[in-house]
Amino acid sequence: MDNFKQKFIEEAADLIEGLEKALLLLEQNSEDAGLIQQVFRVMHTLKGNSSMFGFELIDRYTHNLETVYDLIRNKKLKLSRDVLDVTFASVDHLKQLLDESNYSDPDFITLHNSLIARVSKIINAETVVETVEKSANQDIIPDLAKEEFTYYIRFEPINEIFKNGTNPLYLIDEIHTLGKALVFAHLNRIPMLIELDPLKCYTYWEIILVTSADVATLNDVFIFVEGESKIEIQRVSEEDILTDDFFTSELTRIAKIHKDIGIAATMKVAEAAKKRFLQSKAATIKKEKVGLKDASISSIRVSSEKLDSLMNLVSELVTTQARLSLFAEHNNTPELISISENVQKLSRQLRDTAFSIVLIPIEHMLTRFQRLVRDLSNDLKKDVVFITEGADTELDKTIIESLSDPLMHIIRNSLDHGIEDTHLRLQKGKPKQGKITLKAFYSGANVHIQISDDGAGIDPDQIREKAISKGIIPPDKKLSNKEILDLVFLPGFSTAKKVTDVSGRGVGMDVVKRKIADIRGEVEIESEYGVGTTIIIKLPLTLSIIDGLLVKVDETHYVLPLSAVDKIYAVEREQLYDKFNNVLVLEGKQVSFFNIRKEFELSDSPLPVEQVIVVNFEENRVGLVVDSVVGEYQAVLKPLGKHYKKQEMISGATILGDGSIALVLDTNKIIKLFSRIEDYTMNVNSGNK
Amino acid sequence: MNNEDLSKINSFLSFKLGDEEFAAHVGKVLNILEMTKITEVPRAPEYMKGVINLRGTVLPVIDTRIKFGMPPTEYTTNTCIIVLDIDLDGESIHVGALVDSVQAVLEFDSSSIMPAPSIGSRYRSEFIEGVVNVDEKFIMILNMDAVFSSDELSNMHDKTKETEGSTAIVEIE
C-alpha cells in the first residue's frame, strides 16, 4: 500500500506542477476556456486519486476548488484576481498536504481551515457575481462560425437545360467548392439508345453537402436554373455526418439498389448517423480529457536511483571496454581486435543513449521561477514580466537540481535590486513593465544560461568603494570594469544598501558562484549602469563523462577536456626552457605557455621534444607543455573525494584501461592558478581557513 | 551492521608505524591492500600521497606517518594500505591509510581499555580513544574519524599548541 501511496504522491506532485503551470498561463489569459478546462481537469484527477488513496484532506480540499473552477467553466463565476490568488495559495498548500507529517502541525491545520474558508467564500459569492453573461456571448459567436451542417440537395434539371447553354456539372462543381460533398449521379432515366435525344439532359443528381454556408447561399448556386429545374435543398443535420462511415456507405447502398435515395430515406439514415456522431463526439471529449495522460504514455516513470545505477554501470562498461581495447591491441589476434572494436562502438552508443536519458529540459524548473516572479513582483509592487527562451535546452538532471537555488537567487536579486520601481522607470524613460529574461542555449559542449534584466544595472563606483571600505582591494588599485564587477562574487559582498526581506541577507553572489562551481560551471556578470545586468552561467552538459585528451607528464597521466583543446604542437626543448618570458611563437602568433612539470614541481623532462597543447582560456590561447600525448580518451569522471577538495585545478580522476588512474585537469582553473591571476575569491577563501 | 552492533564487537586491527603500534576498531576497516602504484595529485599537502584505483573507484591515500609527525613512509614488502570507512561531517567516505605493516586482529574487553594519558602524550588527545596493554606492549587505539577528517590538515603531532594553549598538551620530543 505504501508503494501505491508513494506512486500517488509522485503523480500528484506532477499534477500540481502542471496545475501551477496552467494557472500561470491562465493569469495571462484569463478568458481561455481551454486552460480553465485544464485546471478543472487536474483538480478533478487529483480529487479522484486522493480519495482513492485515503488522502481525505486533499480530497475535500480539491473538491471545493473543483467546484470553483466548475463554476468558472460554466461562466457562473468570473475568474478574478482574488480567485487566482487563492488558487495559487492552494497550490502551495496542496504540495504541503502531500506530506502527511504536516498533518499534526496545528499551524498547518489552521492554514488549511482558513484556506478552505476562503474557497468556500468564493463559492458562496457565486450568486452575486452574474455579470459574465456578456463575455460568454462573445465567446459563442466565433464558435458558431466554425459549425458545419449537412444538407441534402436534389437537383433534377429539366431536359432542355443544355439548350440555354448550362452545363449542370458546373453547378455540381460549384456546390463542391462550398464544402465536402458526396454526389450521386442518377442515370436511371436515360432511355434506350434508340430513343435517346443527345440534346436533352436525362441525368439528375442527389448531393450530400457538408458546409458552413446557409440555405440561401446554396439556393444562389442554382439561381439561373431555378424555376425550370427541380431543386430541393434541405438541412438534414446540425453536424458533419459525412465523417460517419456508416452514413455514407448506407446511402451508397440505397443509391445502388433504389437508383434514387430521396429526402425521406436520407433523413432516416442521417438520424441514425447523428446519434452515432454525438456518441463519438462525447468520446473524443473524453479522450481530450485524458489527453494529458495519453500524451505521456510514450514515456515511463523510472526512479532516479535506477537511472543512477544505469549510469554507473555504463561508466563501468566504458572503463572495462577501454581495458579490452588495450588488451586486444597487445594481443595481436585479428578476431579479438574486431570484437573489441565492435564492443567499443556499442558501448559508445549505449553511453550516448544512457546519457540522453538523464538529460531533461530546463523547462522543469522554470515554473518555479515564473511563480517566484509573480509572487515577488506582487510583494514588491513592481510590474515585471518573466520571459524564457530555450526552455527545451536539456541538461543533466543532477545539474538541474543543483541549479535551481542559484538561479532563484539571481532572479530574486534582479527583481529586488535590479528592476526599479514603476515611477522611477517612467522617469528614466524605460517601459513601465520591467523585464527579466532567462535564455538557455547550447554552446559547444556547454550549456549557457543567461539571466538578464532591464533594471538599474550595477554601479561600478559603488562596488569599488565598498570593496575598498571592506579592505578587499587597496584604495589605489586599478581595476577594469570587468574586474570590478567580479568583486560581487566575493564572500560577504552584498551591495544592496538596505537588506530587504527578499534578498541581501548576507548570502550573496559568492554562494551562487560556489554552487555553480560545484557542478563544474562558471558564472560571469555583465552590467551596464542604468541599462541592466546580465548574468551568464556556463555549464557542462553532463557531469559524469567527458571527451578528453590523454597526456603524460612524468609518470602520471592527465586528461584535458577535449572541448578546451585547440591545437597540439611538437616543440623542441630549447624553446621551452631557460626563457626570459614564457612565450612561444606558433604559426606566427605569440602564445604564452606554462610548463606543467615546472608548475607541479617535478624535474625537467629529459625528452628532446615536448608537446605544447594550446587550449582556449577565456579570449586567449594558452599553451600547456606536457611530455607526450597519448590520444583521445573518454573519461568517466570519478570524484577525488573530500580530501582533495582544495585541489581545484583537478576536476576528478578517471580509470584507464590498464587500471591505473589519470587525473582530469580543469584547464581554466589551472591556467588561472599558474598565471596567478589575482583571484580575490581564492584569497579570501584561504584567508578564512 | 549499524553502529550499535559494531560497538559490541571488541576486535581491533593493530598496525605499526615505525616502532609504535596502533590499533583501529575493525568496524572501521573495510579492506587491507598490498602496496600498489599511487597516482600523485600535484600541489596537494605532503601527507596526501595520491589516489589509487580500488575496484573502479578512486580512493585517496594518506601517508599516516606524515600525519603523525614521523618521516614519510618508506615502501617495503610489508607496507600496506588499510581501507577505512571514515565518518566525515555525517557522510561516510573511504580513505586508504598507508602503514608500515599490519600486525594482527586483537580482541580485548572494552573494560581493559585505559584512558589515554592527557599529559605526556606525543599525540593530540582527541585522536586517541584509549590505550591497551597487550603482552606488556602498549597499543594506542585511534579514533579514525578524527584522525582522517580532511579538516585535520595539521599533523597529528601537535603544532597548534600556540593557538590552543588551553588544551593541556605538552610536546615532548
pLDDT tens profile A270-292: 777 777 777 766 666 554 444 44
pLDDT in tens, A237-260: 777 777 777 777 777 887 777 777
Pick the last residue of a domain from A137, A163, A198: A137
Whether residue A411 is found in the same domain as residue A381: yes
Whether residue A483 is found in the same domain as residue A612: no
Whether residue A682 is found in the same domain as residue A584: yes
- Report DSSP state, residue B163: T
The answer to whether A447 and A393 are in contact (CB under 8 A) is yes
The answer to whether A566 and A441 are in contact (CB under 8 A) is no
Q: Is residue B172 part of a domain?
A: no
Tell me, what's the pLDDT at B99?
Answer: 92
Pick the last residue of a domain from A251, A284, A317: A284
Tell me, what's the pLDDT at B155?
Answer: 44
Nearest residue in chain A measured CA to CA from B55: A659
Tell me, what's the pLDDT at A507?
Answer: 52
pLDDT in tens, A631-661: 888 787 887 877 777 777 888 888 887 778 9
Task: Dig out the grid coordinates for A574 from the structure.
Answer: 630549447
Whether residue A451 is found in the same domain as residue A333: no
Whether residue A200 is found in the same domain as residue A247: yes
Q: Is the pLDDT of residue B3 over 60?
A: no
Average pLDDT over residues A358-363: 83
**Chain A residues with CB-CB distance to B61 below 8 A:** none
Instruction: Flag if B58 and A655 touch (Cβ within 8 Å).
Output: yes
Nearest residue in chain B measured CA to CA from A647: B44
Tell me, what's the pLDDT at A509?
Answer: 79
Residue B57: phi and psi, rounded to 5, are -110, 160
Tell me, what's the pLDDT at B6?
Answer: 61
Tell me, what's the pLDDT at B162?
Answer: 38
Q: Please state, in angstroms and rounded to a whole number, the distance separating the CA atoms of residues A378 and A361.
A: 28
> Residue A499 CB: number of other CB atoms within 10 A?
11
CATH code for the domain of A81: 1.20.120.160
Distance of residue A675 Cα from the nearest chain B Cα, in angstroms = 15
Whether residue A380 is found in the same domain as residue A495: yes
Cell 596567478: give the residue.
Answer: A676
Tell me, what's the pLDDT at A499?
Answer: 46
**Chain B residues with CB-CB distance to A645 below 8 A:** 150
The answer to whether A12 and A44 are in contact (CB under 8 A) is no
Q: By residue range, what is the domain housing residue A20?
A: 2-137
Count, in order, helices (H) and strands (E) of chain B.
3, 10
Instruction: Flag if B41 and A642 touch (Cβ within 8 Å).
Output: no
Size of interface A-B (CB pairs under 8 A): 68
For A157, A412, A467, A500, the CA distances from A470, given in Å and listed in that order, are 100, 24, 5, 21
Cell 607541479: give the residue.
Answer: A600
Measured between its terminal Cα atoms, the distance across chain B in Å is 41
C-alpha count within 13 angstroms, C-beta hemisphere, residue A15: 25
Tell me, what's the pLDDT at A543?
Answer: 63
User: Which residue, among A365, A373, A363, has the nearest Cα to A412 in the 3D structure?
Assistant: A373
Instruction: Flag if A600 and B42 touch (Cβ within 8 Å).
Output: yes
Whether residue A340 is found in the same domain as residue A328: yes
Q: Is residue B173 part of a domain?
A: no
**Chain A residues with CB-CB distance to B145 below 8 A:** none
Average pLDDT over residues A525-539: 87
Whether residue A458 is found in the same domain as residue A471: yes
Cell 560571469: give the residue.
Answer: A524
Q: Is residue B14 part of a domain?
A: yes
* A585 vs A629: which has the higher pLDDT: A629
Pick the last residue of a domain from A97, A119, A137: A137
Distance of residue B107 Cα from the nearest chain A Cα, in angstroms = 31
Nearest residue in chain A measured CA to CA from B41: A663
**Chain B residues with CB-CB distance to A661 below 8 A:** 39, 51-53, 58
Whether residue A677 is found in the same domain as residue A564: yes
Tell me, what's the pLDDT at A142?
Answer: 41
Report, in this order, helix, strand and coil percent for chain B, each rounded to 5. 15, 45, 40
**Chain B residues with CB-CB distance to A662 below 8 A:** 39
Whether residue A79 is found in the same domain as residue A176: no
Distance of residue B67 Cα from the nearest chain A Cα, in angstroms = 13
Q: Please state, in angstroms and rounded to a whole number, the distance separating the CA atoms of residues A445 and A119.
A: 49
Average pLDDT over residues A208-222: 80
Q: Is residue B113 part of a domain?
A: yes
Whether residue A50 is found in the same domain as residue A164: no
pLDDT in tens, A464-495: 888 888 777 888 777 788 888 888 887 766 65
Q: Is residue A294 part of a domain?
A: no
pLDDT in tens, A81-110: 788 888 888 888 888 888 877 777 778 888
Q: Is residue A248 part of a domain?
A: yes
What value does the mean pLDDT of chain A take?
A: 78
Please state, for a pLDDT cut of 70, what percent of chain B lies above it: 76
Q: Is residue A21 part of a domain?
A: yes
Tell me, what's the pLDDT at A684?
Answer: 39
pLDDT in tens, A430-450: 888 888 999 988 876 678 899
Tell me, what's the pLDDT at A655?
Answer: 84
CATH code for the domain of A175: 3.30.70.1110
pLDDT in tens, B60-87: 999 888 888 788 888 888 899 999 998 8
Q: Please state, in angstroms and rounded to a whole number, the distance separating the CA atoms of residues A398 and A542.
A: 9
Q: Is the pLDDT of residue B145 over 70?
A: yes
Closest partner residue to A638 (CB to CB) among B43, B58, B150 is B58
**Chain A residues with CB-CB distance to B52 below 8 A:** 661
Q: Structural domain tally of chain B?
A: 1
Q: Is residue A291 part of a domain?
A: no
Q: Is residue B134 part of a domain?
A: yes
Q: Structural domain tally of chain A?
A: 5
CATH code for the domain of B103: 2.40.50.180
Nearest residue in chain B measured CA to CA from A645: B150
User: Residues A293-312, buried b or exposed e (16+ Cβ, 10 A)?
Assistant: eeeeeeeeeeeeeeeeeebe
Q: Which residues are CB-contacts of B108 (< 8 A; sequence separation ≥ 6)?
A: B10, B12, B132, B134
- The amino acid present at A228, given as its one-letter code, is E
Distance of residue B124 Cα from the nearest chain A Cα, in angstroms = 20
Q: By residue range, what is the domain housing residue B154?
A: 3-167
Instruction: Flag if B58 and A640 touch (Cβ within 8 Å).
Output: yes
Nearest residue in chain B measured CA to CA from A317: B56
Grade residue A677 by pLDDT with cuts at 50, 70 and 90. Answer: low
Whether residue A356 is found in the same domain as residue A366: no
Q: Is residue B28 part of a domain?
A: yes
User: Which residue, among B38, B129, B45, has the nearest Cα to A689 in the 3D structure?
Assistant: B45
Interface of B with A (CB under 8 A): 37, 39-44, 48, 51-53, 56-60, 62, 88, 91, 93-95, 150
Distance of residue A318 Cα from the nearest chain B Cα, in angstroms = 11
Q: Is the pLDDT of residue B165 over 50?
A: no
The answer to whether B100 and B18 are in contact (CB under 8 A) is yes
The answer to whether A650 and A665 are in contact (CB under 8 A) is yes
Q: Is residue A196 part of a domain?
A: yes
Chain B interface disruption, residue of A554, A603, A643, most B CBs within 10 A: A643
Closest partner residue to A661 (CB to CB) among B39, B94, B95 is B39
Distance of residue A445 Cα from the nearest chain B Cα, in angstroms = 25
CATH code for the domain of A634: 2.30.30.40
